[in-house]
């Protein structure tokens, strides 16, 4: 180690994000004690922001000497996180392993067996007290005093002991019948909301308070797209290694509609008096994760094919579930599609993802009777709400 120490600070997380929660240290370090060795670009801490969990890598190699923040602390950009002594990690670990390794103990010769304990040939002797000679024997007259162990005789007889009263059996530890709840044992659990879930709740409420939203509902006949999917799904999976779903069809159809009606793909600037129109479509797709709902963005979706869209959806969904989503993956969407149908939802009113102007909801498809050209038939129908 060089003996030179530096302080590692919270790096810039993303645009418009100035703080986060220290979710966990990825190194097991004790305060004011020798810490772990870290390598350059090694992930040492995870900071939970309003949108994603941001892993932070070390810009140095060395040994952590001290921590300045604990888990679940709120940290801001530029705040000191830890103190690092710079140095070559490989050499330091080698020296440490040499110092910690104990010296080998000398081995006993295998030729010389350890001496075995043999039983003593001399038999055990039981010692008995020797009888004194007759000259030392003395005859004492009998004493009227009883031996100490014998209680002295008393003229007054002691009263008889009182009759023993039978003890009542102890009550069982179980609760009385009146104290037992008719619903059985019940308890409450309090779990603190993570930063992402809190921020999602704030943003949804802000959207309801800010936007004058209106939701309309339309029925869509899914029969043709289902037949198309059933016809080509096996060939697409074999050739491209991806499953053909319905999301790619809705993303592609939405891009055509947004280009025909640019106002739906637009947004209002922060100044409040300017509308921003776009000649491209960056589609936000809602993905459910254990920590909350995230909306990664498919860039330039209007230029992509069905297969390309499906591959990007799989990639973004996997990153979201693994907690490896970055701020850049979710920034800049112009329109959002939320698929509540994966949970069996039949209908709902999606909430606009600010600063966007609209959102489309997908729901479960059901086989329903419909009239086509005066004839009744059974088709796959779904309802699409648009806010």
* Whether residue 294 has a cis bond before it, omega within 30° of 0: no
Is the pTM higher than 0.75? The answer reads no
Beta bridge partners of 45: 25, 56
Q: Which CATH fold topology does 195-386 show?
A: Chloramphenicol Acetyltransferase (3.30.559)
Per-residue pLDDT 10s for the chain (387 aa) are 567 888 888 888 766 678 888 888 876 554 434 467 888 888 888 888 877 777 888 888 888 888 888 888 888 888 888 888 887 766 545 454 444 545 555 555 454 555 554 444 444 444 444 445 544 444 454 544 455 544 555 455 555 565 555 555 555 555 555 666 788 888 899 988 877 788 888 888 888 898 889 999 999 999 999 999 999 999 999 999 999 999 999 999 999 999 999 999 999 888 888 999 999 999 999 887 777 788 899 999 999 999 999 999 999 988 888 877 877 888 889 999 998 888 888 899 999 998 999 999 999 999 998 888 888 888 999 999 999
* Predicted local confidence at residue 174, as pLDDT: 53
Strands 359-362 and 335-339, by their bridges, are parallel
Q: What is the CATH number of domain 5-98?
A: 2.40.50.100
List phi, psi (to 5°) of 367: -80, 115
Rounded Cα–Cα distance for residues 341 and 245 (Å): 13
CB distance 13 to 54 below 8 Å: yes
* Predicted local confidence at residue 255, as pLDDT: 96
Per-domain residue ranges of the chain: 5-98, 195-386
* Predicted local confidence at residue 39, as pLDDT: 85
Q: Which of 60, 65, 17, 26 is nearest to 45 (CA)?
A: 26
* Predicted local confidence at residue 178, as pLDDT: 60
Q: Which of 284, 308, 309, 280 is nearest to 294 (CA)?
A: 284
* Predicted local confidence at residue 99, as pLDDT: 46
């Amino acid at each position: 180690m060089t003996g030179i120490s530096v302080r590692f600070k919270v790096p810039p997380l993303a645009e418009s994000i100035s703080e986060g929660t220290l979710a966990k240290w990825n190194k097991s370090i004790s305060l004011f004690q020798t810490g772990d060795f870290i390598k350059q670009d090694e992930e040492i801490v995870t900071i939970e922001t309003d949108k994603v969990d941001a892993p932070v890598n070390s810009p140095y190699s060395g040994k952590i000497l001290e921590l300045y923040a604990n888990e679940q602390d709120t940290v801001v950009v530029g705040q000191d996180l830890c103190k690092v002594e710079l140095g070559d990690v490989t050499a330091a670990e080698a020296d440490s392993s040499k110092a910690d390794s104990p010296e080998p103990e000398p081995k006993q010769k295998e030729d010389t067996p350890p001496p075995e304990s043999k039983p003593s040939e001399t038999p055990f002797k039981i010692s008995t007290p020797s009888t004194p000679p007759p000259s030392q024997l003395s005859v004492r007259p009998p004493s009227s005093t009883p031996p100490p162990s014998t209680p002295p005789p008393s003229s007054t007889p002691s009263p008889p002991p009182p009759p023993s009263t039978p003890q009542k059996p102890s009550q069982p530890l179980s609760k009385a019948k009146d104290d037992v709840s008719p619903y059985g044992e019940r308890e409450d659990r309090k779990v603190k909301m993570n930063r992402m879930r809190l921020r999602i709740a704030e943003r949804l409420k802000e959207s309801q308070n800010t936007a004058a939203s209106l939701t309309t509902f339309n029925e869509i006949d899914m029969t043709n797209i289902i037949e198309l999917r059933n016809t080509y799904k096996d060939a697409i999976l074999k050739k491209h290694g991806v499953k053909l779903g319905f999301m790619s069809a809705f993303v592609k159809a939405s891009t055509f509609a947004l280009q025909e009606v640019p106002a739906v793909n637009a947004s209002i600037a922060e100044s409040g008096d300017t509308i921003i129109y776009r000649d491209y479509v960056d589609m936000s797709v809602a993905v459910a994760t254990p920590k909350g709902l995230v909306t990664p963005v498919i860039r330039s979706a209007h230029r992509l094919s069905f297969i390309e869209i499906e591959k990007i959806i799989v990639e973004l969904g996997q990153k979201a579930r693994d907690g490896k989503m970055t701020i850049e993956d979710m920034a800049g969407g112009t329109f959002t599609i939320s698929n509540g149908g994966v949970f069996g939802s039949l209908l709902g009113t999606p909430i606009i993802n600010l600063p966007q102007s609209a959102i489309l909801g997908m729901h479960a498809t059901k086989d329903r009777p419909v009239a086509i050209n005066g004839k009744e038939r059974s088709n796959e129908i779904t309802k699409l709400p648009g806010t």
